[in-house]
């Protein structure tokens, strides 16, 4: 029996509120010792739940990967607090969500980063990334070498094919070959998206930056993460949790290298104001751009934490002798709450 619970223990919720327990990606951990206390796991309901809360408030952030300005409108305003309040009101188990920045959920696009088991979120994530990249096509071309836009489109098509392959694993009798093939192809695709992202980061490191540059970086980062999530899901179906644990830790390290290469938000905001002689206008330009850059930074940090969460989740399942396919099936059948809680073995 997989010890998934519909509620996060009150002691942990209180710990999060008081700061003795931290939420890092999907990991609940002791703030002092770093010991993992459990994982939070969204169900199929999670995305719908956020959308519903947003819709009830007439909020702009009713879909999880809006343009940055829309995400921002939900980020630092009263509206943000209203959405969080509404989420808590709709479910007594969601106190934990209030500790998160709603905007980072929105911008990172794929929820808490524990989406390996949440197919609906993964599929919606793909569509959002694709739409975003299409909308940002001109920004892709502005910075890119010949046929870059075509390259990104081609890679997104490849991603769609391999996402479909992973989705089909659930219903296949023979999972080994297609599962491994899809996982390896997704790893290679992640490398290609890394290259696209690095090209763009190189371009903006020393030149004037625009809003669309940040959106493009986030979209490419989301594509990398989708590759990782779907590859991990394939390994879960193959019950290769050891491989998933090692691979996702490595992916998190590589993603962190990408994050390191991005200019700090202050530098991006000053680049956005570069060339302006008038002090007042330069200050205003920086002030307008800085929240966008910080939002991007938060989203990327969340993504790194989320990928790492999958490594600790895989280890946790191994420790508890839970098979990967069984875990995926269990998550699928627990769909009455937006969030589930998986305690560590000695917490049961």
Partner 1 sequence: MVGALTTSIPNMDHQTLAAHLDLLIWRDEQLEATTDQLEAALPELVDSVASLVDEAGTVELLKTSVTLRKSVDNHVKAWAAEQARVATKRAEIALDATISSLGTEIGLADDFREVAVAGLGATSGLAIIGGSLATIPTALTFATVTTGGFFGFFATASFSVPLLAIGALGVGVLSFTGSTVVHRAKTSARNKLKSRLLKAVEQQVMGYGMPVGQRTVLSDIQAMIIRAGENKIEDLT
Contact footprint for partner 1 (CB under 8 A): 22, 24-25, 27, 29-36, 194-195, 198-199, 201-202, 205-207, 246, 249-250, 252-254, 256-261, 263-267, 269-271, 274-279, 282-283, 286, 290, 294, 297, 301, 304-305, 308-309, 311-312
Q: Which is nearer to partner 1, 36 or 50 (CB)?
A: 36
Name 249's Cβ contacts closer than 8 Å, sequence gap at least 6: 308, 311
Give min distance, CB of 140 to partner 1, in A: 15
CA distances from 212 to 38, 69, 262, 276, 277 (A): 37, 10, 15, 20, 23
Give min distance, CB of 277 to partner 1, in A: 3
CA distances from 101 to 81, 94, 118, 120, 134 (A): 10, 14, 21, 22, 27
Give min distance, CB of 311 to partner 1, in A: 7
Rounded Cα gap, residues 271 and 269, in angstroms: 5
Concatenated DSSP letters for 8-65? --HHHHHHHHHTSEEEETTEEEETTT--EEEEEEE-THHHHHHHHHHHHTT-S--SSS
Rounded Cα gap, residues 186 and 170, in angstroms: 17
Q: Which is nearer to partner 1, 86 or 315 (CB)?
A: 315
Give min distance, CB of 305 to partner 1, in A: 7
Give min distance, CB of 271 to partner 1, in A: 6
Q: Which is nearer to partner 1, 279 or 348 (CB)?
A: 279
Q: Which is nearer to partner 1, 36 or 122 (CB)?
A: 36
Give min distance, CB of 189 to partner 1, in A: 15
Q: Which is nearer to partner 1, 35 or 172 (CB)?
A: 35
Q: Are the C-beta atoms of 116 and 232 separated by less than 8 Å? A: yes
Q: Which is nearer to partner 1, 26 or 119 (CB)?
A: 26
């Amino acid at each position: 029996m997989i010890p998934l619970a519909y509620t996060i223990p009150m002691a942990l919720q209180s710990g999060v509120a008081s700061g003795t327990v931290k939420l890092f990606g999907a990991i609940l951990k002791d703030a002092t010792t770093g010991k993992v206390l459990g994982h939070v796991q969204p169900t199929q309901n999670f995305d719908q739940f956020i959308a519903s809360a947003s819709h009830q408030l007439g909020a702009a952030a009713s879909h999880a990967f809006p343009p940055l300005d829309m995400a921002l409108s939900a980020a630092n305003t009263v509206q943000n607090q209203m959405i969080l309040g509404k989420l808590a009101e709709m479910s007594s188990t969601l106190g934990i969500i209030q500790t998160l920045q709603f905007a980072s959920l929105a911008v990172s696009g794929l929820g808490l980063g524990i989406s390996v088991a949440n197919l609906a979120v993964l599929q919606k994530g793909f569509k959002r990334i694709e739409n975003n990249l299409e909308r940002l096509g001109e920004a892709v071309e502005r910075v890119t070498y010949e046929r870059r836009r075509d390259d990104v489109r081609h890679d997104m098509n490849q991603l769609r094919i391999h996402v479909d392959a992973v989705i089909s694993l659930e219903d296949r009798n023979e999972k080994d070959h297609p599962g491994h093939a899809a996982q390896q192809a997704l790893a290679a695709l992640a490398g290609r998206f890394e290259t696209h992202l690095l090209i763009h980061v190189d371009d903006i490191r020393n030149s004037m930056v625009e809003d669309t540059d940040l959106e493009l970086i986030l979209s490419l980062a989301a594509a990398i993460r989708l590759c990782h999530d779907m590859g991990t899901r394939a390994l879960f179906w193959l019950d290769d949790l050891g491989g998933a644990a090692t691979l996702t830790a490595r992916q998190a390290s590589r993603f962190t290298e990408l994050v390191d290469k991005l200019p700090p938000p202050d530098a991006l905001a000053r680049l956005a104001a570069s060339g302006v002689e008038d002090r007042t206008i330069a200050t205003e330009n920086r002030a307008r751009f800085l929240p966008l850059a910080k939002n991007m930074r938060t989203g990327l940090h969340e993504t790194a934490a989320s990928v790492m969460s999958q490594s600790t989740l895989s280890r946790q399942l191994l420790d508890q002798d839970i098979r990967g396919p069984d875990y995926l099936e269990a998550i699928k059948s627990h769909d009455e709450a937006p969030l589930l809680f998986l305690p560590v073995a000695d917490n049961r």
